[in-house]
Structure 1
Amino acid sequence: MAEPTTRDTILAAIRQGKPDLLPLPATIGFPPNISAENLVESFMTMVKTNGGQAIRVASLAEARAFLAEDYDLTLPVLSHVEGLDISNFTPAEELRLLDTLHLFVLEGKVGVAENAAVWVDEAAIGIRALPFITLNLSIVLSEKNLVGNMHEAYRLIDTSTGFGTFIAGPSKTADIEQSLVIGAHGSKTLTVFLLP
């Protein structure tokens, strides 16, 4: 019988050191890392950490009043939130105004407290480029749609709408000499309105 080769010796050692097979757990996931009572506070803190602002409002009328105070609504503005009628042009008719879009408002589907990411889908966005080409972005989100972590969020998002993305704060980069620049590649501001 031939002497075992080094290869055979190594493979035999690997086979001996192999752990026993265990059954997979019934559910795979991570428990919520933020209590249900702290979801709103945690989310708002993370929005601020990401360079945006989160504001609790009682109604869309209150959100509209805030937008009217903080932004020049005579500039090109689009709102895709039903009941928040502040749009002053229609992209299909005046596509050139998208070059100077001052404010875009849309509805968020799910908000994640651990990182302030908000899921927005194609049904809410319309033209996919809008959240990324606007100077200022605002998202309306119901507090009941807040979850603790991304694992919970992925169980809730609907991918059948086509395009969708998570947005967490205004555009930012720290590529150049590790200096944080906000608004480098997209919106300079993000305001999230939380509705009860």
Structure 2
Amino acid sequence: MVDFDGFLNLRFLSFGYCDLTGQIPAYLSKNLEELALNNNRIRGPIPSWLGTLPRLRSMDLSSNLISGEFPKELCGLPMLVSKQTVAQVDSNDLELPVYTTSGVLVASQINFRYIRPTIDISMNIMSGKIPIEIGQLRLLHGLYLSNNNFSGNIPEQISKLKNLEKLDRSLRESFVRKNPTIIDNP
């Protein structure tokens, strides 16, 4: 099933709530548009090569055991940085049956143009500073950083995210104690 270069045509990978362990696999497709590995037991750092995936626009790694720093390379994701890049990528619909829990077919097509560009790394054990390069993600709509062990100030470059609709910056109590000028907003 897996070619030497990975799943060549894989555009959507969702293994949330699967009790997965280990690290983020290196065989992901360069065509990947959405990655959801939330609510597992994945360990280790976020690999910097994820920031080189040309089509990746949504990533949910929340509720794992991911450690390390926020990779600066993620701040250069082409689909979250430049409208020109988005225009160059064909956004074909994906035929995929979607069923309700009762087995009723509710949809057969997912249009990737309407997936909100999101990065969710909340509820992990990440540390270090939030990189100032985060301001480059101008097409990002949702950013979830809560419940990690980040230190330092929230970079003012985050104000450059003009398309941001949701920002979860609620912080662990230890971070707020070290930085009393920050107000915790759940």
Same fold (TM over 0.5): no
Structure (1 or 2) with the greater helix fraction: 1
TM-score normalized by the length of structure 1: 0.22
TM-score normalized by the length of structure 2: 0.23
Select the structure of larger CA radius of gyration.
1
